[in-house]
Amino acid sequence: MAAYSASSAKWQHFLRRWQEAGLIDEKTAAAIAVHETAHEAGQEAARGWNWQVIVALTFGGVLLAAGILLFVAAHWDTMSPAWRFSLVLAMVAALHIGGALVATRFPALSITLHAVGTICLGAGIFLAGQIFHLQEHWPGGVLLWALGAWAAWALLRDWPQAALAAVLTPAWLIGEWIEAVPGRQWDMPATTFSQVSWTWATPAVAALMLAITYLSAVTPEKTSAARKALVWIGGAAFIPAVIILETFVRWRWSKTPFPEPYATLCLIAAYLLPLLLAWCLRGKRAWVNVIAMLWIFLLVAVTPASEEFSLALFLLCAVGALGLIQWGLTEGRQAMINLGLAGFALNVLWFYFSNVFDKLGRSLSLIGLGILFLVGGWLLEKTRRRLMVKIGGGEL
């Protein structure tokens, strides 16, 4: 697209010069402009990616990465440490060199090879740790992998590198938290709300806040392939993050190993750091993310530290789903509307199984479930179509 714009500006510049010099009249200049515009539009369409190319490159990249890893695993025991380390280096280097060689001839293939190279970098880091018997601290390996993805994105500016960095960076932070905080102790008595929220609720809050930040990365003013990749990541992580948050808050975990002030700072950081990223991505539009942060805080507050689900929790989840739909309508975003409708439907099903299903007979429960699926599905699809018409197709 950049080359297309530069070429268009170049011939328009010469066309104005010729017309001002009196070499061509206005009618001839208009005819030349129509011809050149149609020619460049055809070239741009020829350079575009159709869906067959995208599918082929996606599956090819996944299969290539899987095949390389399986080959290494199958021959790992028969190799000496020197051969193992050489193979790891060659595997990563060959993919990135191949991506650089085809960058001008086939940019799509170049992006795919660089992405596979960064994925294989993670395998290489952990294989190198196994070769040299390094200290076992797996979050450190994830950190090195994330740094590699950030370096690749800084050099290439490809959206797969941005997506890998966006996934690996929080994975490293959560991994450090998992290593630092002890797991659940089943024989412990019930803990207080503060003790629960200061342990495993902290990474769960951070994950949900980050999912919402990624989901809102695309704005009417700012759209790019990297931002769209963040939207896909946030959309895929949003509902699982809500479920994980509810699970971690309800369970009774061991007390935090940190002093109380540090535990409080960690929880505050879980709310504010993703909000800061939202401000960097969205600017003044980040005020909606502040409302989402307050919703998450209430979600943690109303969640009981028991196996029971309160009515306030279901109502708050429904409010969150409706708020996401309204957010999507305001900014013309299909992804938010679809995700909000899916969240609302799952919340209704969750309420039915938790509060209604066991109180009815087997036959009545199944009949009610069938009616819920049929009528609810019809209403949701009807509502979705109306909302899509209202935003006129909208953005991702």
Four-point Cα dihedral 296, 302, 305, 307, nearest 10: -100
At 189, which amino acid appears? P
Residue positions counted in the chain:
396
The pTM score is: 0.73
With a cut of 70, which residues of the chain have pLDDT below it? 1-11, 38-55, 57-58, 61, 65, 68-69, 72-73, 75-76, 131-135, 182-200, 250-263, 304-309, 355, 357-363, 365, 369, 392-396
* Whole-number pLDDT of residue 51: 54
* Whole-number pLDDT of residue 305: 54
* Whole-number pLDDT of residue 309: 63
* Whole-number pLDDT of residue 45: 46
CA distance 210 to 370: 36
SS (H, E, C) 196-228: HHCCCHHHHHHHHHHHHHHHCCCCCCCCCHHHH
* Whole-number pLDDT of residue 1: 43
Kindly report each contact of residues 91-100 with a partner whose C-beta sits within 8 Å and lies 24 or more positions away, as own/partner.
Answer: 91/120, 91/124, 92/117, 92/120, 92/121, 92/124, 95/120
* Whole-number pLDDT of residue 238: 92
Which residue in this structure is represented by tokens 């709310």? 271
* Whole-number pLDDT of residue 185: 45
Residues 310-340 as b/e (b if ≥16 CB within 10 A, e otherwise) read: eeebbebbeebbebbbebbbebebbbbbbbb
CA distance 341 to 388: 12
CA distance 202 to 185: 18
User: Is 310:302 a contact under the CB 8 Å cutoff?
Assistant: yes
